[in-house]
Structure 1
Amino acid sequence: MTHTRYDRRVDGLRVVGGDIVVHSDAKGAVQRTTWGRGRAVALSDKTPKVSAAAAQATARATATGLAGTPTVSSELVIHNGDAGPRLAHEVVVKGIRTDQTPTALHVAVDAKTGAVLESWDTVTPGTGNGIHVGNVTVGTSGSAPSFQMVDALGHRTTDLKGATTGAGTVLTDADDVWGNGTMSDRASVGVDAQFGAQKTYDYFLTTFGRKGIWDTGKGAPSRVHYGNAYDNAFWDGTQMTYGDGAGNANPLTSLDVSGHEMTHGVTENTAGLAYRAESGGLNEATSDIFGTMVEFYAASPVDAGDYLIGEELGSAPFRYMDKPSKDGRSPDCYSSKVGRLNVHYSSGPLNHWFYLASEGSGAKSVGGVSYNSPTCTSKAVVGAGRDVAAKVWYSTLTNELTSRSGYADAREGAIRQAKAIYGKGSAQCSSIAAAFDGIAVPAGTQTCSN
């Protein structure tokens, strides 16, 4: 099969949420089409009653908690969201939040009524306090006395020196021996970031044949030492950025954080899952899933792979894939209310699905870590292995999902891809489907036998 993604325009107006995937067989004949929010998006009246200036004012009021004056731009679009196609101004408010996190907030303002239809941010932050990855090998370039932390693919790590804007200064070293494993040498954090970016690239290439975030063979830039005591990390559409954490002593450059943030870039350049509602939960869980897989792939002696997110960063993990509710906020099971949660918590059911599809339900030890994963139906699930689950989910992400996909779409797409990869009636497909049963996503049209 060939899976081709399209964006749509109607009379020159971009359709937000109008992306589709056309699935063709080996002879080029179209077999089916995955329509995001719906096929019909044309509008009979495309004359706005609300001006762009008024829409921008509404969006500015929506973007609270910003430091300084943001930049604002807008475009007249057809917004194909929860309420169906609407003529709208898509306003983008760019600035810096008071916690130092950049924002690129998209606000869809109804061009007829002035109501806010929805909003989402394209800067996708993570959470936690990073650690050093220990004594590792990283790709660099140049020669003595000025080696650069830039590898042959273009992965580069720069030092922002506390700034919150700009590209930063490429890290250099006289003898190509970088850092000393402590914060006293600024290059130590750079080693973490460069190593994380390179390992994430290697994982996607060796596992799926994907050549980096953009699938072009181009490496991704990383910026370290962002802001002052900035306790976060983020992907902003072009690069990964890491703060030094509380007291500028706990950099957010651990392997799972690096893999998580870089995967946001992969998601942006495949399904484009909008960072809101159920699609935002799928987006966050996708980063957790492949951040976890990068951790297993890297096989670091100081940060072994596991199904715990941020377990090396404090007294307790941030998220638990075997039982997400252990964090006190994430649900184990899917319900129609999931999309109302913050995307870091609505990710819970898909994280749970990945663990069940990988390892199965019940109590067990994996790599010396104890887990006990229940199901939402009390029916046992037999896992197919994490490599199988990751392969099915990557194929679902790249071939099935669109920007507004939710949990029902995830189930349908994953079962379809499991059949395509492993065959109808396969044990692998049965595990994938059973894991969706295990998180209470209602059955759709796809089964492992049809």
Structure 2
Amino acid sequence: MRSRTSHRRTPRTTQRRVAAVALAGVAALIATAVQSGAATAAPGTAPRTAGSAASASESVTLTPAQRAALMRQADSVKAETAKDLGLGAKEKLVVRDVLKDRDGTVHVRYERTYDGLPVLGGDLVVQGDTAGEADKVVKATRAAVKPATTAATVPAAKAEQQALSAAKAEKAAGADVDRAPRKVIWAADGTPVVAYETVVGGLQHDGTPQELHVVTDATTGEKLYEWQAVQNGTGHTVYSGTVDLTTTQSGSSYNLTDGARGGHRTYNLNRGTSGTGTLFSGSDDVWGNGSPSNAESAGADAHYGAALTWDYYKNVHGRSGIRGDGVGAYSRVHYGNNYVNAFWSDSCFCMTYGDGSGNANPLTSIDVAAHEMSHGLTSATAGLVYSGESGGLNEATSDIFGSTVEFYANNSSDVGDYLIGEEIDINGDGTPLRYMDKPSKDGRSKDSWYSGIGSIDVHYSSGVANHFFYLLSEGSGTKTINGVTYDSPTSDGLPVTGIGRAKAEKIWFRALTTKFTSTTNYAAARTGTLAATGELYGTDGAEYKAVQDAWAAVNVGARSGGPGGGGTTFESSADVAIPDAGAAVTSPITVTGRTGNAPANLQVSVDIVHTWSGDLVVDLVAPDGTSYRLRNRTGGSADDINETYTVNASSETANGTWQLRVQDVARYDTGYINGWSLTFP
């Protein structure tokens, strides 16, 4: 009898995981927070934005009680979910987040443990009709979590010393061990192994609080990875003019507590670098005078920015609070002395702002506040590792939502634009930190993808996604928006037609919260945004085409093609479970924009994860139902199918819905369609 043990070998990305964010130096902005870790709302209650059609796939707003109920439901069936996903007996799921769509579809995000140990890089998202049902799944790693051992042969003290040495190499001040080495399974890169994770505190070289995580192989002593968990990203405000603030009256005094937004509070650190500081309070309900020299002015900016960001996520995307649980974060202003930075930290669930050079330019403008708070969103959802390409996507997510919140605010003193940090003048020359229309204008960021993009600072690799988002929203070429003139190029020299910011922001939010994982890279981000677009707007409209073209314009993937166009790829990234010795299953791809018939050399790329590929019969089914056999029970006991087949489909009309049909015709082994594509040469 054949073994039922899974031994998958699907390739995966090499990014890892992190946990918080800030502004990097004086030229790159605010970073992110990453870490390793809704009952039905009535139809029609999901918020909409101007220019975006209501979609069954939009998320509905869940009350904290509804969200908690769905999380309990997912938790109650997590053992069954793990079994459906083919996880091993020693693997357990831990519910982390949940979203629900207008049509009732539920998305549950999980962490994973193995033999009781946390699995770093083991996160996944399942999608189904009920909480925990796994009709579709997106995983951070396809590698089977089956370490050779969970026993450590290297002393924990060696891992601790290695972590302290890593902090010293980064010129950290006052480095000490905040968290003693704990055993984990490291699955974020290659074959999962038992490891130690050690956390070192102190201060980074620029004065930012440090939370340096160092991962050490517990059997060899090799340093596997390191990351910082804290990274740099009526009030009379410094940047936004006179604004209304939601405050709380206590007796005869007032304080900056926002009871309408989860109890968000704003504190004055008064040049301190630890603790919460002092809650802003006063005898009247007027805060600041618009000058940086008045401590309340920056407090008013931060309080206002947090409120705007809360309202944006709730009213545009249906999310109540950063974690979706209705609980507010808090803000700290006047951090340190001449501190030219701002950061989000998971450990305090808070945003922290310095006052800039000479303590004259507090980093509390709308887009900076939204940028930092959005790091918290990324941490609570995709958990994009703050390194390599996933780190660039993490940073770009905060830039993207920093910009969209600024547009949402509609504040005449700080108008919406695609410039990041233009108000705070961190460079001292009146220029923004970053430009989304042409990122390279800052002298460091990249306009498009190349093979080495993952090796540069994440604040500059973020340019690829920032540029994509601008092109998707506004298109290429020259245009003026709110008095700012943009001129966005494309890497292939071809134009891109934008679909509007309202639709683009919906696509990015859905991809972040339901498609991205801790290890998502740029290629996977393209796949995820296309999947999100298909769910929101369909696969045969202008939106889907624009996403393909905008990614191609930053050198990620192919163009959508068009009448007479060539070299066009259509793809599906949806996971489809293949039942053991069961009925055939299908995965569809809708082809549009072609003329005439399909070519005689149609390329069909198939990615199937299965533990006994010889069980499978695989067919391509044309729009008229004609079947083309690709594979008929070949491969024996080998794992998986990762092949490209050439099909003479010249008798078939190109446009229409094509299907990959797969059937398992023997017992004992299971798997799923991981994705497939059609390329028209």
Aligned counterpart for 2:162 among listed residues 58, 62, 85: 58
- Name which of structure 1's ranges 79-88 and 100-109 shifts more when overlaid on structure 2: 79-88
Are 1:255 and 2:366 matched, yes or no? yes
- Name which of structure 1's ranges 308-317 and 203-212 shifts more when overlaid on structure 2: 308-317
* Aligned 8 A contact 1:96 1:103 in 2: yes
* Structure 1 residue 291 displacement after superposition: 0.3
Partner of 2:174: 68
- Name which of structure 1's ranges 138-147 and 346-355 shifts more when overlaid on structure 2: 138-147
* Structure 1 residue 49 displacement after superposition: 2.1
**Unaligned 5+ runs, structure 2:** 1-104, 559-568, 573-588, 592-656, 658-681
State how far apart, in whole Å, the 1-side matches of 2:195 and 2:223 are.
9
* Structure 1 residue 336 displacement after superposition: 2.1
Q: What is the 5 A alignment of 1:83-102?
A: 83-102=190-209
Partner of 2:11: none
Partner of 2:581: none
Q: What is the 5 A alignment of 1:294-443?
A: 294-314=405-425, 315-443=430-558
State how far apart, in whole Å, the 1-side matches of 2:310 and 2:456 are.
31
Are 1:18 and 2:129 matched, yes or no? no
| 1:109-152 residue CA offsets vs partner (Å, 9 max, x unmatched) | 111222211111121212xxx95321111110015631011011
State how far apart, in whole Å, the 2-side matches of 1:29 and 1:173 are.
51
State how far apart, in whole Å, the 1-side matches of 2:363 and 2:286 are.
22
State how far apart, in whole Å, the 2-side matches of 1:338 and 1:406 are.
10
Aligned counterpart for 1:199 among listed residues 305, 308, 311: 308
Aligned partner of 2:374: which letter?
T
| 1:365-419 residue CA offsets vs partner (Å, 9 max, x unmatched) | 1122111111111121110111111100000000011111111111111001101
State how far apart, in whole Å, the 2-side matches of 1:198 and 1:84 are.
44
Partner of 1:235: 344
Identity over aligned pairs, percent:
48
Aligned partner of 1:46: which letter?
T
Aligned partner of 2:524: which letter?
D
Partner-residue secondary structure (3-state), 1:7: strand
Partner of 2:328: 219
Are 1:150 and 2:257 matched, yes or no? yes
Aligned partner of 1:21: which letter?
V
Aligned counterpart for 2:381 among listed residues 256, 267, 270: 270
* Structure 1 residue 249 displacement after superposition: 1.2
State how far apart, in whole Å, the 1-side matches of 2:322 and 2:414 are.
24
* Aligned 8 A contact 1:419 1:448 in 2: no
Partner of 2:27: none
* Structure 1 residue 183 displacement after superposition: 2.7
* Aligned 8 A contact 2:160 2:177 in 1: no
State how far apart, in whole Å, the 2-side matches of 1:448 and 1:295 are.
36
Partner of 2:214: 107
Aligned partner of 1:147: which letter?
Y
Partner-residue secondary structure (3-state), 1:57: helix
* Aligned 8 A contact 1:364 1:370 in 2: yes
State how far apart, in whole Å, the 2-side matches of 1:287 and 1:354 are.
12
Partner-residue secondary structure (3-state), 2:212: strand
Partner of 1:166: 275
Aligned partner of 2:113: which letter?
R
* Aligned 8 A contact 2:362 2:424 in 1: no
Aligned counterpart for 2:401 among listed residues 290, 304, 328: 290
Partner of 2:140: 36
Give the TM-score normalised by structure 1: 0.96
**Unaligned 5+ runs, structure 1:** none
- Structure with larger Rg: 2
Instruction: Provide closer, same or farther for how the CA distance between residues 182 and 43 of structure 1 changes in structure 2, counting only shifts above 3 A.
Output: same
* Structure 1 residue 431 displacement after superposition: 1.0
| 1:238-270 residue CA offsets vs partner (Å, 9 max, x unmatched) | 100001111111111011100000000000000
Partner-residue secondary structure (3-state), 1:60: helix
| 1:201-255 residue CA offsets vs partner (Å, 9 max, x unmatched) | 0000000110111111222200011111111000011100001111111111011
* Structure 1 residue 83 displacement after superposition: 3.1
* Aligned 8 A contact 2:163 2:200 in 1: yes
- Name which of structure 1's ranges 287-296 and 28-37 shifts more when overlaid on structure 2: 28-37
Partner of 1:245: 356
- Name which of structure 1's ranges 81-90 and 223-232 shifts more when overlaid on structure 2: 81-90
State how far apart, in whole Å, the 2-side matches of 1:186 and 1:448 are.
58
| 1:267-316 residue CA offsets vs partner (Å, 9 max, x unmatched) | 00000111111111111000000000010011111110000111223321
* Structure 1 residue 82 displacement after superposition: 2.5
Aligned counterpart for 1:133 among listed residues 230, 240, 264: 240
* Aligned 8 A contact 2:181 2:198 in 1: yes
- Number of equivalences: 447
* Aligned 8 A contact 2:267 2:276 in 1: yes
* Structure 1 residue 25 displacement after superposition: 3.7
State how far apart, in whole Å, the 1-side matches of 2:153 and 2:448 are.
43
* Aligned 8 A contact 2:256 2:280 in 1: yes
Aligned partner of 1:145: which letter?
S
State how far apart, in whole Å, the 1-side matches of 2:206 and 2:450 are.
32
Partner-residue secondary structure (3-state), 2:450: coil
State how far apart, in whole Å, the 2-side matches of 1:45 and 1:359 are.
52
| 1:85-108 residue CA offsets vs partner (Å, 9 max, x unmatched) | 122111111221232101111111
Q: What is the 5 A alignment of 1:167-186?
A: 167-186=276-295
Q: How well do the aligned residues superpose, as a CA RMSD in angstroms?
A: 1.7
Are 1:6 and 2:115 matched, yes or no? no
Partner-residue secondary structure (3-state), 1:291: helix
* Aligned 8 A contact 1:131 1:313 in 2: no
State how far apart, in whole Å, the 2-side matches of 1:12 and 1:273 are.
23
State how far apart, in whole Å, the 2-side matches of 1:123 and 1:190 are.
21
State how far apart, in whole Å, the 2-side matches of 1:433 and 1:131 are.
40
| 1:45-79 residue CA offsets vs partner (Å, 9 max, x unmatched) | 22222111101111111112222242342211111
State how far apart, in whole Å, the 1-side matches of 2:131 and 2:458 are.
40
Partner-residue secondary structure (3-state), 1:89: strand
* Aligned 8 A contact 1:363 1:371 in 2: yes
Tell me: higher relative CO, structure 1 or 2? Use CA pairs within 8 A at least 6 residues apart: 2
* Structure 1 residue 12 displacement after superposition: 1.0
| 1:175-223 residue CA offsets vs partner (Å, 9 max, x unmatched) | 1011111133211110000000000000000001101111112222000
* Structure 1 residue 28 displacement after superposition: 7.3
Instruction: Provide closer, same or farther for how the CA distance between residues 70 and 28 of structure 1 changes in structure 2, counting only shifts above 3 A.
Output: closer
State how far apart, in whole Å, the 1-side matches of 2:108 and 2:154 are.
36
Partner of 2:299: 190
